[in-house]
Chains A and B, each alone.
Chain A
Amino acid sequence: MSTKHSRNAEKFLKDKEQVRWHDQTLWMVRAKRDNMSRQLPEWERLRDMACAIKMYSNSHLDLLLQEFEKNAQANGAHVYWAKDADEYCSIVYNILRAHSVKHFIKSKSMLAEECGLNEFLEEKGVEVVESDLGERILQLMHKKPSHIVMPAIHIKKEEIGELFVKEMGTEPGNNDQTYLTHAARKNLRRKFIEAEAAMTGANFAVASTGECVVCTNEGNADMGTSQPKIQITAFGMEKIVPDRESLGVFTRLLARSGTGQPITTYTSHYRKPRTGGELHIIIVDNGRSRILADKEHVKTLNCLRCGACMNTCPVYRRSGGYSYTYFIPGPIGINLGMLKAPLHYFDNVSACSLCYSCQNVCPAKVDLADQIYRWRQKLDGLSVASSSKKVMSGGMKALMEHPHLFNLALRNASVVNGLPQWMVYNGLNDWGKEHDMPQFAKESFNEMWKKNKIK
């Protein structure tokens, strides 16, 4: 029954103190999100409208993307279309090469992670500097994000302190968060000023104006794009929204849902290139248009990448981002991984208790848990259903269909209570792993009912 997820989770669970901290910290973010949502009586209508706008925009992508392109070009931007990860990486590289860019500063982009941009560019000799603090820490550690909004949530300050001694010349043993953050501020300032080109993703691309909107708390997207003259902005095509009125809905939901703030510190609107500069915009498909045909999973395209579904997920909180085999963890990652390559990422489908919390907090109403449930029904068809689970379900089916057998099993279940430890807790009994077995009652409800013990 063990999957790659459960085996990876086992490693994460070894450090009990770290697990407790991870679980409680993310739950605190979830509580902040609840607090924010309760301050707005119109909260549920906001979610409904966000969902409805996304259903509209994702079913009119052909029209909205062309409208965006026309307006962006009128604003003086260059617009490119990339079918897949390779084309996206090549477009970025060609822009950088044409301007002999050696220093390249980036703000956090899940699309760049998805497409392996940094690896691609570094192989070609371009120095890429991540400017989001969490991303920079991970880049220097040669690690990957474990959360889409709080990428370094799994790293302890002691590790960061040690890293900064080496990379930024901080005092050994000083692991104070403020001290370390300001050391990075100073260090990255130079990188911003030296860079010959800057890149951002986009949270929203507005069809009616041709502008891209980026939300950050640190101000790194703006520090980057206000220094060098070359700006590159790339987004997955589902980031398109029809107009600024729609931004009114999404900017109210995004940070409240993701981090429990009323809005991010910076919500930047990039419409034209800077004077004497260039603005390059890349629209990326990379499998998204294919998802449009899949009625059962098309709503994944509603996702705003706020991270609320991870913060609330009891499995994510207690297993960490690295347990999942897809680069995006948590409920949305389970679904996006299955859409990308089911035979590759099916291990994550079991990392869900179907508690539906994710679905209830999602600001754009992605039916996350329903989709996971649907994927589970398909596992057998993909020939990747767990064989031990199949044997058990077969057994349960036989038991449920034969009341005599069922009652007999129930009457004798309490025998297990008295069995020696080694017979109950062993490799054959998956229910006995990581938790204690329940005590079986001496008498079943059925029997108690018949003896009139239940009033």
Chain B
Amino acid sequence: MSSREDILQSIRRNTQVRYEKPDLSELEKEAVVYPDKVKQFCDIMKLTGGRAVVVESGDDVNEIIRRQYPEARRIASNLMSIVCLGKEQKLACAAFHPDDVANPGDLDGTDLAIVAGRVGVCENGAVWVQQDVEQRAVYFISEALVLVLDRRNLVNNMHEAYKRIDTGEYGYGVFISGPSKTADIEQALVMGAHGARDVTVLLV
């Protein structure tokens, strides 16, 4: 008999009481909500070690990104333009498309990646990134990361977030909450373990 059958039989033989699936609706109803989602999101982003920048009407996104990352030269993005408060702005600061490289390892040395976030979660600063390029390495290998997020896509908590997300055609998605970090050496918090050392969420 196959291991699969063995295991399933062992489970059936040993399972005692079968418990009901709980109803989560009460929890979802009483889960934390924020009166000012933009403010809460900006506050929690600081706690994650990153930052959120609210783009006001009249702001130039290219300028905001340049000001934040003046040293960045190799800038990757799959975004041609960014819609800010209903107005489309051409993204001029990106140097190349992440899928222009032959191997994901070639993305090593990317100073900055500018990618789209789909949902932002106010309770923890997590931004849902659904894979939208062939080389998803770009989300992690770049030294810094800008996540562009429509402020209307802020939700209060993870219950609300999971109702809104998908892994799309590529079958991959990730919540990213601030910069990569570790405290593995004597519990001292260090940004930039393996992924981006710095993360900015642009709330457009």
List chain A positions with a Cβ less than 8 A from chain B. 25, 28-29, 39-42, 45-46, 49, 52-53, 55-56, 59-62, 65-66, 75-76, 81-83, 87, 131-134, 137, 150-153, 155-157, 160, 177-178, 180-182, 185, 188-189, 192-193, 209, 211, 217-220, 222-223, 226-227, 237, 242, 244-249, 251-252, 259, 261-275, 283, 285, 289-293, 295, 298
Please state if B24 and A245 are interface contacts (CB–CB under 8 Å): yes
Q: Which of B12, B17, B178 contacts A265 (CB 8 A)?
A: B178
Min Cβ gap B68→A in Å is 19
Min Cβ gap A431→B in Å is 34
Residue among B6, B124, B134, B167 having the largest count of chain A Cβ atoms under 10 Å: B124
List chain B positions with a Cβ less than 8 A from chain A. 2-4, 6-8, 10-22, 24, 26-28, 30-32, 44, 47-48, 104-105, 108, 121, 123-126, 134-137, 139-141, 157-159, 161-163, 165, 167, 170-188, 190, 192-196
Asked, given contacts A59-B16, A245-B162, whether A181 binds B190 with beta carbons under 8 Å apart, the answer is yes
Please state if A81 and B4 are interface contacts (CB–CB under 8 Å): yes
Residue among A40, A42, A55, A150 having the largest count of chain B Cβ atoms under 10 Å: A42
Please state if B195 and A219 are interface contacts (CB–CB under 8 Å): yes
Roughly how many angstroms separate A283 CA and B21 CA in the complex, as a whole number? Answer: 22
Roughly how many angstroms separate A264 CA and B123 CA in the complex, as a whole number? Answer: 12
Roughly how many angstroms separate A62 CA and B124 CA in the complex, as a whole number? Answer: 34
Q: What are the residues of chain B within 8 A of A227 when measuring CB–CB?
A: 104-105, 137
Asked, given contacts A219-B193, A248-B161, whether A263 binds B137 with beta carbons under 8 Å apart, the answer is no
Please state if B177 and A222 are interface contacts (CB–CB under 8 Å): no
Min Cβ gap A394→B in Å is 36
Please state if A251 and B187 are interface contacts (CB–CB under 8 Å): no
Please state if B12 and A189 are interface contacts (CB–CB under 8 Å): no
Residue of B nearest to A132 (CB): B184
Please state if B173 and A218 are interface contacts (CB–CB under 8 Å): no
Please state if A217 and B187 are interface contacts (CB–CB under 8 Å): no
Roughly how many angstroms separate A48 CA and B22 CA in the complex, as a whole number? Answer: 10
Q: Can you list 16 A-B contacts with CB-CB less than 8 angstroms, sorted by A residue number? A: A25-B186, A60-B15, A66-B8, A83-B6, A137-B185, A150-B184, A185-B192, A189-B108, A193-B105, A209-B167, A222-B195, A223-B141, A247-B162, A263-B126, A292-B11, A292-B16
Roughly how many angstroms separate A244 CA and B11 CA in the complex, as a whole number? Answer: 24
Please state if A289 and B162 are interface contacts (CB–CB under 8 Å): no
Please state if B18 and A226 are interface contacts (CB–CB under 8 Å): no
Please state if A295 and B16 are interface contacts (CB–CB under 8 Å): yes
Please state if B7 and A289 are interface contacts (CB–CB under 8 Å): yes
Please state if A217 and B180 are interface contacts (CB–CB under 8 Å): yes
Please state if A40 and B32 are interface contacts (CB–CB under 8 Å): yes
